[in-house]
Structure 1
Amino acid sequence: MARTTPHDHPLTEGQPLYWRIATQLLDELRDGTIPPGERLPGERHLARHYGVSRETVRQALEVLRHDGLVATDRRGSHATLPGRPVENPAALTFPVGARAADPGAVDRATVAWEAPPPGHAQALGLAPHRPTLVHRYESAGADGQGRRTAVTSFSAVALAEVEELGRYRERADGSTSAQLRRAYDWMRKAGLTLHHRDAITPLAGASSVRVTRRVHDQYARPLEITELLVDARQDALVYEFTVPAAG
C-alpha cells in the first residue's frame, strides 16, 4: 500500500491540528532548517515553537514516523529525509579567535560556574548575578606576541539542550582545563541550528581589537556570547565560512 504524507493532500480547515503541525515540520525538514540525520528539538521546544501542546507535537511526529520521514531512538527523533547532512564549517572552532594547532603557541582554557559579565547576562537573558558556565581562553605566540583572551558565557538554553556542556557544571571550578573546541559541533548534534553574528571593533588608543560573537538557534534563543581581545599589531583576523549549496 502506498504511503501518504502531509504534502500529498492540500491543507483544509477540517484537518486535525496535528496534521497541520506535521506539514509545517516537514517543510522545515525539506528546506534544510533541520539537516538530515540531525536530532530534532525536544517536544517541549517544538510545542513552544508552533504554539501547540506537547500532545499535538507527539501526534505530528507519529505521522512523520509512520511515513518514514522521522526516526526515533534513545537519543530522540531525527530526520531521515534523503540528502547530504550539512558539514561542519571548518572555521567555527570554539571560541572565536582560537588559534590553529601551533606547537610553539601557549594556550590555556578553563571553565567556571559563576555570574557572567553584566553585558553577557543581558545578552543571554539571565537575571543579574545568576551563575552560568563561563569559559576563559588565553593564547600567545611562541615569542609572547599576539596575545588573545576570550571570555564566553553560555545561556541556560545551551546548558539544558547540550549534554556535553551541561556536564561541566559540577567541575567548573575556575581551574579545570577545558578547551571546548567542539562546542559548536555539540550544539549542532543536539539539534540546534547555529546563527553567528560577529562584530569587530578597534579599541581607541590601542593596537587591539575586540571581537564580539553572539550565537542563537533557529528559535532565536541565545546560546552563547564571546568577547575576544586581540593584540592586532602582528596578527590578522581571518574568518572563513562554508555555506552548503542548496538542494
Structure 2
Amino acid sequence: MARTTPPDPPLAEGGHRGEPLYWLVATQLLGELRDGTVPPGERLPGERQLAGHFGVSRETVRQALEVLRRDGLVATDRRGSHATLPGLPVETVSSLTFPVGARVADPCAVDRATVAWETPPPEHAEALGLAPRSQTLVHRYESAGADGRGRRTAVTSFSAVALSEVEELARYRDRADGTASAQLRRAYDWMRRAGLTLHHRDSITPLSDAPSVRVRRRVHDQYARPLEITDLVVDAQPDALVYEFTLPAAG
C-alpha cells in the first residue's frame, strides 16, 4: 500500500488562507532566523522537529525550506540545512578555548600538544559512553612558564559522536601517533561549524596529594550527546586560572 502524507491541520485563526501553507511556514521560519533563534551558519532542526514546531506535515516543511533555499536564505548539504543570513560568523560567537586552561596570550610559555589513537582513561570512557578497551582520539597538552613554574597538563578524550560529526577532528586519526605536534585550538569552532551547539560544565577540585587543582570540563551537544571530556591539572598559585566569557548583546 502506498504511503500518503497526512493532511496539514487547518491554519490557526487569523492565518492568511489565500497563501499556501508552506509559504506561511517559510515566512515564520525566516522570522526566527532573523531574530537569532538559529544563528547564521548553525544547522536547523530536522524536518520532523520543524514539522512538530509549526504543527504541519514534513512535506510542508520541505516545501518551505525549498522556498528559503531558492532565495539563498538557507543552504542544504549532507549534514542538513543551515541558515545563511548575513551575521556574525560562527567562529566569533565561541568563547571557549581548547583545551580548557590553554594559554592564549603568553609568548614566554612553553607549550606542547600531541594526539594519539588509544584507550582513554576509564573515567573518560565511561563519561563518553565508550565500550571498555575501545580506542578514541586522545589529546595531551602541556604548558609551563619560561621559568618552569605554573605547569599545566591537560588530557582530552573525544567521543565517537565528535569524530563522526566533525570532519577536522576525524582527519587526525591516521596521524595520531602520540609524538607529532597537534594544536587543536579551534576544536570548538570546528564543532560549531558542524552544526553542534556546545554545552559545557567545568568543575574545579583541589587535589589532596599535591598543591594543585584539577579542572574537569564536560562538553555535550544539543541532543545531550557527549562530545569530549578534559582533565586539566594546574600547579596551585595565585591567579593560576582565569576564565573569560563573552556573550553577544541581544539584538
Query: CA 1:55 to 1:91, structure 2 compared with 1: closer, same or farther past 3 Å?
Result: same
Residue type of the partner of 1:114? E
Partner of 1:5: none
Counterpart of 1:40 (choices 39, 43, 46) is 43
> Residue deviations 1:216-244, cap 9 Å, x none?
11222211111100001254211011111
Deviation at 1:29, TM superposition (A): 3.7
Say if 2:90 and 2:193, in contact at 8 Å, map to a contact too.
no
Distance in structure 2 (CA, Å) of the matches to 1:23 and 1:152: 43
Deviation at 1:169, TM superposition (A): 0.5
Query: CA 1:165 to 1:86, structure 2 compared with 1: closer, same or farther past 3 Å?
Result: closer
Counterpart of 1:71 (choices 69, 75, 93) is 75
Query: CA 1:146 to 1:162, structure 2 compared with 1: closer, same or farther past 3 Å?
Result: same
Task: State yes or no: 1:214 paired with 2:209.
Answer: no
Deviation at 1:177, TM superposition (A): 1.1
Distance in structure 1 (CA, Å) of the matches to 2:210 and 2:156: 23
* Structure with larger Rg: 2
Deviation at 1:67, TM superposition (A): 5.7
Task: State yes or no: 1:114 paired with 2:118.
Answer: yes
Residue type of the partner of 2:43? L
Query: CA 1:90 to 1:47, structure 2 compared with 1: closer, same or farther past 3 Å?
Result: closer
Deviation at 1:89, TM superposition (A): 5.0
Task: State yes or no: 1:169 paired with 2:194.
Answer: no
Residue type of the partner of 1:40? R
Residue type of the partner of 1:190? A
Say if 1:113 and 1:134, in contact at 8 Å, map to a contact too.
yes
User: What TM-score do the two structures reach when normalised by structure 1?
Assistant: 0.77
Query: CA 1:223 to 1:32, structure 2 compared with 1: closer, same or farther past 3 Å?
Result: farther
How much is the aligned-residue C-alpha RMSD, in angstroms? 3.5
Partner of 1:3: none
Task: State yes or no: 1:229 paired with 2:223.
Answer: no
Distance in structure 2 (CA, Å) of the matches to 1:93 and 1:86: 14
Distance in structure 2 (CA, Å) of the matches to 1:51 and 1:132: 36
Task: State yes or no: 1:156 paired with 2:178.
Answer: no
> Residue deviations 1:189-224, cap 9 Å, x none?
111121121111111253211101111112222111
Partner of 1:200: 204
Residue type of the partner of 1:219? Y
Distance in structure 1 (CA, Å) of the matches to 2:93 and 2:236: 24
Distance in structure 2 (CA, Å) of the matches to 1:160 and 1:54: 26
User: What TM-score do the two structures reach when normalised by structure 2?
Assistant: 0.76
Deviation at 1:98, TM superposition (A): 0.4
> Residue deviations 1:83-107, cap 9 Å, x none?
4445635752210000124332211
- Identical aligned pairs, as a percentage? 78
Residues 79-98 of structure 1 mapped to structure 2, 5 A cutoff = 79-81=83-85, 83-85=87-89, 88=92, 91-98=95-102
Which consecutive residues of structure 2, in runs of 5 or more, have no partner in the other structure?
Answer: 1-10, 16-20
Say if 2:46 and 2:80, in contact at 8 Å, map to a contact too.
no
Partner of 1:124: 128
Distance in structure 1 (CA, Å) of the matches to 2:218 and 2:47: 25
Bigger shift: residues 231-240 or 178-187: 231-240
Secondary structure of 1:94's aligned partner:
coil
Report how many aligned residue pairs link the two structures: 232
Deviation at 1:25, TM superposition (A): 6.5
